Amino acid sequence: MAPKLPPQPPLEHSSAATAGGAAAHHAPPRGMLRWLLTTNHKEIGSLYLIFSLIMFFIGGIFALVVRAELFQPGLQLVNPEFFNQMTTMHGLIMVFAAVMPAFTGLANWMIPLQIGAPDMALPRLNNFSFWLLPVAFLLLLSTLLMPGGGPNFGWTFYAPLSTTFAPPSTTFFILSLHIAGISSILGAINIVATILNMRAPGMRMMDMPLFVWTWLITAFLLIAVMPVLAGVITMMLMDINFGTSFFNAAGGGDPVLFQHLFWFFGHPEVYIMILPAFGIVSAIIPTFARKPLFGYASMVYATASIALLSFLVWAHHMFVVGLPLVAELFFMYTTMLIAVPTGVKVFNWITTLFRGSITFEPPMLFALAFVVLFTIGGFSGLMLAIAPADFQYHDTYFVVAHFHYVLVPGAVFAIMAGVYYWLPKWTGHYPNVRLSQWHFWLSVIGVNLTFFPMHFSGLAGMPRRIPDYALQFADFNLVSSLGAFMFGASQLVFVAVVILCVRGGEKAPAKAWEGAEDLEWSVPSPAPLHTFETPPTFSPHVH
């Protein structure tokens, strides 16, 4: 998740080598300034990943406060007001500060290497969009210390709880989301410009690896959807401070309008968080099964159609808000129609395994765990699509279990698999296998211990976002809390693996994994700061 590129060894070696022939090349600035002013996609990628890991731990601590309170019935640890702040901040930090920047970091690192480009299209913009993030999320975290407390209205910040009845720090919450939104938008523009214009000669759109394809679609989704989020929070700002009533029934507004606008952004957002994961897993499984990805064309086409279909399903988050019957049916049908072509992509990975020659290095372990556990999340998603049944599932822990299964063993495991897969390329060393396996098994057991009982507490009737619960939910929550602490602790093992891997470990050749075929493996490991100065000749091979 966070390869700390050692400041010294690989850079000196690479810049010295490449600078040999060039004219007087001014040495890069030293120390902190170098990271502040870097326009190199590898350094910015590492910055994104380090930032994302730190935020992953902060969001994780908020989650552990929530789980510690829910360990037993009764209020032992926090008052309900602070508990709501913890659930809200956990959601916001994990979605906007941990998962999205992690994928952006992997994109910054790997897209130029996979398409044979020397760097991103707009390097200075790349630096700017990274350094917006620490600003945005320091501001967001500082709202916890403001009078009236931080945001306590859930990461979905429904009006009027988030407008008329919100704490005074809400304006800062809106400012921080604006800044984070701008950072994602600039990142997306950068990625689209790079992929469309800077591929190595000979590499046509159709020869691009799937990770690049999924990120191209994700970038288009980001460009289409982030402005809608910016619009919604601007309307919120005007409702709170300038006396408009977009979402205030008193002035002719409508709180349900907020939910429509938010989820019109919200659902493509969850696809933004899972498509890059599809890309990563589609790179890893063929490598370790030593067999080309099954149905590459179908994967590309299905991902492309998701970019359009994901805009038709948003109101399945609002089945109980009082939609008219026709709208309820419409969104039930569209949700079913889109769930199938997306879900069956899992079968492509499994068929890639069929009659392959499989080995179980750490990246493969995480990719396989992704396939199994993400599919379980997908099945609970199918159950939630049945609108009448959703009247019983909505806003209970069954929904919490669903989206955690698609996000934690889904997006987060895919990010970890990506990091394990590309660490040899970044650092020149293999990650320590023994420790990686410890990390894997602790995480898998921790994730299941935490989120599987939530299916049952949700079905049995436990609503979401409550700081205390009736006695019949006690055992499920006990197990969930234990699992949460176990999963949290096992991420420390991950940090150890990464640090050790950066420092040393078994040397990795350029082609670190026997089955790897993409362009990034033609560059030496550790990847020098400047690669593909002269565009590589690319010969398309069959997908």
Partner 1 sequence: MWSVIKSVLAAFFGVQKERQRRADFETGRPVVFIAVGVVMTLVLIGLVALVATLAAR
Partner 2 sequence: MRTLLVWVAGCWTLAGLSPLALANGWNMPVGVTDLSREIYSLHMTIFWICVAIGVVVFGVMFYSLFRFRRSRGAKADNFHENTTVEVLWTAIPLLILVGMAVPATATLVKMYDASDAELDVMITGQQWRWRYEYLGEDVAFTSNMSTPRAQIRGEEARGEHYLLEVDEPLVLPTNRKVRFLMTADDVIHSWWVPDLAVKQDTIPGFINENWVNIDEPGIYRGQCAELCGMDHGFMPIVVHAMEGEEFDEWLAERKEAAAEEALGVDRDWELDELMERGEAVYGSICASCHQAEGQGAPPAFPSLAGNERLIEDVEWHVQTIVNGVSGTAMPAFRSTLNPVEIAAVATFTRNAWGNDTGDAVQPSEIAEQLAQ
Partner 3 sequence: MSHEDHDARSRNPGVRRTVVRSVAALIGMFAFAFALVPLYDVFCRVTGINGKVDNTAQAVVHEGVDDSRYVTVQFITRGSSGLPWRMEVETRQVRVHPGQTSEVNFTFRNQSAEANWGRAVPSVSPSRASRHLRKVSCFCFDEQYLEAGERLELPLVFQLARDLPPDVNTVTLVYTLYPVTDARAPLRAQVTAGKGDEA
Q: For the segment 102-141, give every residue that binds partner 3 (CB under 8 A).
A: 118-119, 121-124
CB-neighbour burial class of residue 69 (10 A; exposed 0-12, middle 13-18, buried 19+): buried
In the complex, what is the shortest distance from the CB of residue 219 to partner 1, in angstroms, rounded to a whole number?
14
Rg over CA atoms, the chain = 23
How far is Cα 48 from Cα 101, in angstroms, rounded to an integer? 6
Binders of partner 2 in range 456-475 (CB under 8 A): 456, 459-461, 463-472
Q: Does 225 bind partner 3 (CB under 8 A)?
A: yes
* Residue whose C-alpha is closest to residue 129's, from 56, 223, 221: 223
How far is Cα 543 from Cα 293, in angstroms, rounded to an integer? 7
- For residue 248, CA distances in Å to 233, 238, 239, 320, 536 come to 14, 11, 8, 20, 58
Which among 162, 194, 282, 436 is annotated as catalytic? 282
177 neighbors 229 (Cβ within 8 angstroms): yes
Which among 4, 178, 464, 465 is annotated as catalytic? 464
Q: Does 271 bind partner 3 (CB under 8 A)?
A: no
Q: Does 54 bind partner 2 (CB under 8 A)?
A: no
- Of 154-162, 247-255, 360-368, 440-448: span binding partner 3 (CB under 8 A): 247-255
Q: Mark 185-224 with x for binding to partner 1 (rule: CB under 8 A) and - for no binding.
A: -------------------xxx------------------
Catalytic residue status for 397: no
205 binds, among partner 2, partner 1, partner 3, none (CB under 5 to 8 A by kind): partner 1
**What are the backbone dihedrals phi and psi of residue 15, each rounded to the nearest 5 degrees, phi first?**
-65, -35
Q: Which is nearer to partner 2, 65 or 111 (CB)?
A: 65
Q: Does 326 bind partner 1 (CB under 8 A)?
A: yes
**What are the backbone dihedrals phi and psi of residue 541, each rounded to the nearest 5 degrees, phi first?**
-115, 165
Structure tokens at 20: 């040999």
Q: Which is nearer to partner 2, 131 or 452 (CB)?
A: 452
Q: Does 209 bind partner 2 (CB under 8 A)?
A: no
Going 211 to 217 to 220 to 225, the CA torsion angle's sign is: negative
230 binds, among partner 1, partner 2, partner 3, none (CB under 5 to 8 A by kind): partner 3
- 191-194 contacts, C-beta under 8 A, 24 or more apart: 191/107, 191/111, 191/120, 191/215, 191/216, 191/219, 192/216, 192/219, 192/220, 192/223, 193/120, 193/121, 193/122, 194/111, 194/112, 194/115, 194/117, 194/120, 194/121
In the complex, what is the shortest distance from the CB of residue 329 to partner 1, in angstroms, rounded to a whole number?
4
- How big is the chain, counted in residues? 543
- Alpha carbon dihedral 102, 103, 106, 109, in 10-degree steps, equals -100
Among the listed residues 185, 387, 423, 444, the single contact to partner 3 using CB under 8 A: 185
Q: Mark 38-57 with x for binding to partner 3 (rule: CB under 8 A) and - for no binding.
A: -xx-----------------
Q: What is the DSSP string of 449-476?
A: HHHHHHHHHHHTTPBSS-SS--GGGHHH
Binders of partner 3 in range 307-346 (CB under 8 A): 322-327
Q: Mark 79-118 with x for binding to partner 2 (rule: CB under 8 A) and - for no binding.
A: xxx--x----------------------------------
Q: Does 347 bind partner 2 (CB under 8 A)?
A: yes
Preceding peptide of 112 cis, ω within 30°: no
* Residue whose C-alpha is closest to residue 472's, from 496, 486, 456: 456
Catalytic residue status for 541: no
Catalytic residue status for 124: no
Catalytic residue status for 204: no
Which among 41, 199, 317, 439 is annotated as catalytic? 317
In the complex, what is the shortest distance from the CB of residue 237 to partner 3, in angstroms, rounded to a whole number?
13
Structure tokens at 435: 């420790």
251 neighbors 154 (Cβ within 8 angstroms): no
* Residue whose C-alpha is closest to residue 354's, from 259, 289, 418, 305: 289
In the complex, what is the shortest distance from the CB of residue 296 to partner 2, in angstroms, rounded to a whole number?
7
Among the listed residues 23, 145, 250, 325, the single contact to partner 1 using CB under 8 A: 325
Catalytic residue status for 184: yes
In the complex, what is the shortest distance from the CB of residue 326 to partner 1, in angstroms, rounded to a whole number?
5
Binders of partner 1 in range 277-296 (CB under 8 A): 295-296
Catalytic residue status for 429: no
Among the listed residues 257, 445, 482, 523, the single contact to partner 3 using CB under 8 A: 257
Q: Which is nearer to partner 3, 37 or 372 (CB)?
A: 37
Which among 267, 291, 425, 439 is annotated as catalytic? 267
367 neighbors 420 (Cβ within 8 angstroms): no
Binders of partner 2 in range 143-162 (CB under 8 A): 147-148, 152-154, 158, 160-161
Q: What is the DSSP string of 33-50?
A: HHHHH---HHHHHHHHHH
517 binds, among partner 1, partner 2, partner 3, none (CB under 5 to 8 A by kind): none
Q: Does 486 bind partner 2 (CB under 8 A)?
A: no
23 binds, among partner 1, partner 3, partner 2, none (CB under 5 to 8 A by kind): partner 3
Q: What is the DSSP string of 384-453?
A: HHSHHHHHHHTTBHHHHHHHHHHIIIIIIHHHHHHHHHHHHHHHSBPPPHHHHHHHHHHHHHHHHHHHHH
Q: Does 344 bind partner 1 (CB under 8 A)?
A: yes
How far is Cα 468 from Cα 381, in angstroms, rounded to an integer? 26
Annotated catalytic residues are: 90, 119, 155, 183-184, 267, 269, 271, 282, 316-317, 342, 345, 464
Which residues contact partner 3 (rule: CB under 8 A)? 18, 22-23, 25, 39-40, 118-119, 121-124, 185, 188-189, 192-193, 196-198, 223-228, 230-232, 235, 243, 246, 249-252, 254, 256-257, 260-261, 264, 322-327, 530, 533
